[in-house]
Amino acid sequence: MLALPFAVIIVGCHGLSHSFNAFQAGDEGTHYQIVQMAVHQWPRPLLGSYGAWEGPLVYWLLATLSLPFGGSLVAVRLVVTAFSWGTCAITYVLFRDRLHARPPDALALALLLAISPFFFGQSFHVLTDNPTWFFVVLALERLFAYVQRPAMARLAAFAACLAAATLMRQVTLWLLAPGLVALLSVPVPRRRRLTGLGLLVLGIVPLVALLLYWGGPLPPGAAAATSLAVVHRTRNLLLSLGVVGTYGVLMLPAAELAGWWRRAHDHPAWLATLALPAVATAGLLAAGVFDSVSSFLALISRVNCPQLAGVSLLWWVLVPLGAAVTAALVVTRLSDVRSRLLVSALLGLLLSAMANQRWFERYVDFPILLAFAGLAVVAGVPLGRADRLRWLVAGLIAIALFLWIA
């Protein structure tokens, strides 16, 4: 069933010999050219001077797996599609076996991730996002497996996936946050904990070596689009909080959201917990850190929305909402180890967004949706019909947006 959406597009595009519009699909030519460079010098790795921000492993993997088929454009597209399907299959296992979701819920959430707007369209083009998400999801699955049964082999597998993900996209170093939380949360002897810490250190050694080789966070020859001034860091964080606000409303159980509302009504301290982050982010919006951004998401950038102080009203709603949701999760979800890992991953992801030269929603959309899908099934409250209807609405919106763009 998880393969069905991918099979429909493969058949409809004549084995992916035809292309279609998708977010960032215009970058396919650049990435395919780099894959061809990797094919021509295979098996030697392509370590720099290829004109992109991504790490070299993604290009080497795409070149290696498509090499038996001549490294053609169709072959590389199919390899990316296989990575995309694999990502969703591992996500299903993560939800079902590690987070103990009911199999129908695990399947529904994995399908929702499969057809999410910044994942599905990129599943059929030579782009670097989905192969990276494959190793991110596999790393998280191995980490939750370690929490279930703390075997060193499972933590070593997480460290290997961490190394692979960071060699494909440097900012996936945020995986280290849930890794450290898991290591500290599992009751193991001190010697084994030190061994586990050594494994995590080994997991980031390849990235450190690559950055030393490059002499910086980007490959030589990769042009930086903007400076990393404080205003750009803040803008990236607020944009990401807008995505958090969106998925917080769509994914978290209605019973949990209702509990927050009741606590805010009855306890002034809880109301302050939600209100203070929201007010702080609203103040940053008023301060003008968004500059020329006037609408929420590349998805709906064609839609004109009323503005307040030069900023779309959607931002005024979703950014404070995202800040409030994040604060509420930190206060309420740290007692359960599974929620603790998901919240730490979310916080690490939000902080990592501040390191990017520029912000594109595709950098954070899939892992934020993944985190909220996981938080939905480990919420400790029953999931009801209203929750599954919201998942269905989110899926229908994703399909409509895909058809709109394509």
Q: According to the 3-state scheme, what is the secondary structure of 332-389?
A: HCCCCHHHHHHHHHHHHHHHHHCCCCCCCHHHCHHHHHHHHHHHHHCCCCCCCHHHHH
Question: Are 194 and 282 in the same domain?
Answer: no
Question: Are 183 and 325 in the same domain?
Answer: no
pLDDT of 296 strictly over 70: no
> Is there a contact between 91 and 110 (Cβ–Cβ < 8 Å)?
yes
pLDDT of 210 strictly over 90: yes
Domain count, the chain: 2
Domain assignment of residue 115, yes or no: yes
Domain assignment of residue 400, yes or no: no
Question: Are 292 and 166 in the same domain?
Answer: no
Question: Are 173 and 261 in the same domain?
Answer: no
Domain assignment of residue 117, yes or no: yes
Question: Are 22 and 169 in the same domain?
Answer: yes
Averaged over 96-116, what is the pLDDT? 95
Averaged over 337-341, what is the pLDDT? 96
Domain assignment of residue 69, yes or no: yes
Averaged over 154-166, what is the pLDDT? 98
> Is there a contact between 324 and 277 (Cβ–Cβ < 8 Å)?
yes
- How far apart, in Å, are the Cα atoms of 39 and each of 29, 34, 47, 59? 15, 9, 13, 9
**Structural domain boundaries enclosing 209:** 4-214
Beta strand extents in 50-154 (DSSP E only): none
Least confident segment among 41-50, 167-176, 334-343, 365-374: 41-50
Question: Are 206 and 264 in the same domain?
Answer: no
Which position has the higher pLDDT, 14 or 8?
8
Which position has the higher pLDDT, 220 or 194?
194
Q: 292 falls in which pLDDT band (50, 70, 90)?
A: low
Strand partners, 311: 308
Averaged over 2-7, what is the pLDDT? 94
Question: Are 65 and 196 in the same domain?
Answer: yes
Question: Are 199 and 309 in the same domain?
Answer: no
pLDDT for residue 223: 59
Question: Are 238 and 268 in the same domain?
Answer: yes
Question: Are 95 and 178 in the same domain?
Answer: yes
Domain assignment of residue 23, yes or no: yes
Domain assignment of residue 356, yes or no: yes
Q: What is the CA 165 to chain-centroid distance, rounded?
A: 12
Domain assignment of residue 404, yes or no: no
Which position has the higher pLDDT, 140 or 42?
140
CA distance from start to end of the chain: 23
- Most trustworthy range by pLDDT among 2-6, 45-49, 265-269, 360-364: 2-6
Q: In whole angstroms, what is the distance from residue 22 CA to residue 355 CA?
A: 25
Three-state DSSP class for residue 204 = helix
Domain assignment of residue 397, yes or no: no
pLDDT of 377 strictly over 90: yes
- Out of 214, 249, 281, pick the residue that ends a domain: 214
Question: Are 192 and 282 in the same domain?
Answer: no
- How far apart, in Å, are the Cα atoms of 185 and each of 147, 182, 195, 310? 8, 5, 15, 45
pLDDT for residue 289: 79
Question: Are 336 and 209 in the same domain?
Answer: no
pLDDT for residue 143: 97
User: Largest Cα–Cα distance in the chain?
Assistant: 66
pTM of the complete model: 0.94
Sequence-distant (6+) residues with CB within 8 A of 264 are 270, 271, 274
pLDDT for residue 228: 56
pLDDT for residue 299: 47
Averaged over 255-259, what is the pLDDT? 93
